[in-house]
Amino acid sequence: MIRFTDVYKIYPGGHNALSNISVEIGNGSFVFLIGPSGAGKTTLLRLIIRDMLPTKGKVFVDDWEVSKLPKAKIHHLRRKVGMVFQDFKILSDRTVFENVSLGLEILGKKEKDIQKDVSSVLELVGLANKANRFPQELSAGELQRTSIARAIAGGPKILLADEPTGNLDPVTAREILDILQEVNKIGTTIIMATHNVDVVNHFKKRTIAMESGSIVSDEEKGHYLIPKSENKKRS
């Protein structure tokens, strides 16, 4: 369970990135987080992984109040919450296998367990035959698959995806969503920030729309809501 209670985030200079956010996301959910650039989507995700702290209010991941976690326990939160980025953040001097295994090595897993876990997640994302390839040998879609594999290799309960299809063509974007759905089916909570109208309207998941730091709608089997600011520009 992820829960925001009356959360505000004000950046230096007075910019109000989030205003009075209260929302719950249950275990095993798949949620699209939509809205224009600057709406607060990335800020919300960063609060979940304690990459920053709220100015006011509370953020919970399961029974943990994130802002009150001692620094010594933040790594426990990061094991529970994986993250996928638009720009992949793949290490260019390591193979697909080595990129995915890095987090498991940091966790101190045994070599035979790493081999098993990495092989399993590469199979899940359709990269079993690319394990020994380097990033420069991969397509953009394959790089994002590698990023997803790395994020789920440690078995996180929650996967945050920040614009994971932003640099991909429509067909590849659908393939990435299919993979995220498979990850969701094994019990992982997925929260995906996206501008991709076609993906949101096709997959019809719970859709939380944000604008100017506030939640403006929250629909089960939602659709891509055109922000009021965009409607005004068009009229």
pLDDT recorded at residue 88: 87
- The 10s digit of each residue's pLDDT in 207-226 is 999 999 999 999 998 888 66
Confidence of residue 47 (pLDDT cuts 50, 70, 90): very high
What's the chain's Rg over C-alpha atoms? 18
- The 10s digit of each residue's pLDDT in 118-162 is 999 999 999 999 999 999 999 999 999 999 999 999 899 999 999
pLDDT recorded at residue 120: 94
CB 117 within 8 A of CB 124: no
Q: Which of 195, 219, 194 is nearest to 206 (CA)?
A: 219
Could you identify the residue written with the tokens 């096709």? 202
- The 10s digit of each residue's pLDDT in 155-174 is 999 999 999 998 899 999 99
pLDDT recorded at residue 210: 96
Domains of the chain: 29-37+80-234 (3.40.50.300)
